[in-house]
Every structure is written in structure tokens, then in C-alpha cells.
């Protein structure tokens, strides 16, 4: 809510408006890893989704994983970010931009305060994984990260881990394309 309040534009008729953000391609020679999480406080179950795209916007890899006994949304988001970086490392990408839509996680990863947070272990893992790449961290509003969120929702109790590499269903490709062109399928 806070990020929405920061980004609103109050027009004369008191309507709150924020332009939809679309996913931006990474620089040439870089790969973008978008991650997002879904979380249910009632069940303490979360899920993370990660997708990797190249400078042309081509979907290269995606994965989703179910998390049990998750404390809160921040923890689920950090687990998804860690898993996204692990996916990039496993596939040999060397120049990686990690793009997330969780502002508290983004701020923690940019500071040294993560060591004192509830996600200190995950904060440390993410920072250590980042040392294995030429690494950048980027924040995007949820509108530009819908594909990673959609992938996170594809896991279940019977399929707790799913991954795709170079072969994607039309449905998954459509969700990814929507990230680049929000509103095109509304």
C-alpha cells in the first residue's frame, strides 16, 4: 500500500491514478531474473516464481516452488529471490539483473540492515549468490512483474516444484507477454 501511495497522481477530480508499468528488457548481454511470491498467512504456505529473459525479451527459463512453514510475505519474497538467482546460476548466466516487486526486500538487499532482519539468513544467501555474477538489483511495480507472480501460483501440494527450460506452454508464454504489454489481454 505504501508504494501505491507514493506513486499516485491525484487529479482535480480526486481520482487516484498510477500508470501501469510494463516489464523492461535488460541491457544487451544481460539476463533479467524476475521473481515474486504468493503467500497465505492462514496456512503459512507460500510459493515463489522466477523467470529469466534475455535482452530480446525471450523467455529462457522459469521455475516455481512451494514453501511450507513460511513466517510472512517478506520471507516468501526472499525465498523466491534466492531461488531465482539459483536458477540463473544453474543455467550459467553471468550478467544478471534481479528484479523484484517487494520494496521492503529491495531496500534490505541494498543496505547492510538485512543482517539484523527476520530474513538475515536469506539476505546473506542472496547477497552471496549475487557475488557469483555481474549483478544488479532492480525494483518494478507489480504490474511489470505479473508473469513471475503467475508462475508462483502454478505449484500445488502434489506438484511442489515445477520448472521449464526452453519449452513453454502457450499459456505460460501469454502470461509472460502480458508483462511486457500490460492491459493487452484485459
CATH number at residue 99: 3.30.420.10
Residue 64 in any domain: the answer is: yes
Number of structural domains (the chain) is 1
Question: How deeply is 142 buried, as exposed, middle or buried, from its count of CB atoms within 10 A (0-12, 13-18, 19+)?
Answer: middle
Contact 142, 101 (CB under 8 A): yes
How confident is the model at residue 131, as a pLDDT? 95
Q: At what angle do helices 73-90 and 120-130 cross, to 10 degrees?
A: 20
pLDDT in tens, 19-48: 567 889 999 999 999 999 999 999 999 999
Residue 186 in any domain: the answer is: no
Q: Model pTM?
A: 0.84
CA–CA distance from 65 to each of 37, 83, 158, 167, 181 (Å)? 9, 8, 12, 18, 26
Residue 7 in any domain: the answer is: no
Residue 122 in any domain: the answer is: yes
Residue 8 in any domain: the answer is: no
Residue 165 in any domain: the answer is: yes
Residue 1 in any domain: the answer is: no
Contact 3, 68 (CB under 8 A): no
Q: Which domain holds residue 30?
A: 21-180
How confident is the model at residue 15, as a pLDDT? 43
Residue 76 in any domain: the answer is: yes
pLDDT in tens, 122-173: 999 999 999 999 999 999 999 889 999 999 999 999 999 999 887 777 777 7
- Percent of the chain exceeding pLDDT 90 equals 70
Amino acid at each position: 500500500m505504501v508504494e501505491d501511495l507514493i506513486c499516485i497522481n491525484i487529479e482535480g477530480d480526486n481520482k487516484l491514478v498510477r500508470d501501469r508499468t510494463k516489464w523492461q528488457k535488460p541491457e544487451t548481454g544481460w539476463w533479467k531474473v524476475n521473481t515474486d511470491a504468493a503467500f497465505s498467512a492462514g496456512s503459512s504456505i507460500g510459493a515463489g516464481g522466477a523467470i529469466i529473459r534475455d535482452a530480446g525479451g525471450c523467455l529462457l527459463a522459469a521455475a516455481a516452488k512451494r514453501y511450507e512453514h513460511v513466517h510472512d510475505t517478506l520471507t516468501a519474497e526472499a525465498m523466491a529471490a534466492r531461488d531465482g538467482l539459483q536458477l540463473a546460476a544453474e543455467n550459467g548466466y553471468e550478467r544478471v539483473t534481479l528484479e523484484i516487486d517487494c520494496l521492503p526486500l529491495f531496500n534490505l538487499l541494498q543496505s547492510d540492515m538485512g543482517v539484523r532482519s527476520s530474513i538475515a539468513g536469506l539476505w546473506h544467501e542472496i547477497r552471496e549468490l549475487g557475488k557469483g555474477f555481474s549483478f544488479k538489483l532492480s525494483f518494478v511495480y507489480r504490474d511489470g512483474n505479473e508473469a513471475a507472480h503467475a508462475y508462483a501460483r502454478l505449484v500445488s501440494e502434489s506438484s511442489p516444484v515445477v520448472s521449464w527450460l526452453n519449452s513453454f506452454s502457450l499459456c505460460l508464454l501469454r502470461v509472460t507477454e502480458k508483462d511486457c504489454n500490460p492491459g493487452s489481454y484485459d
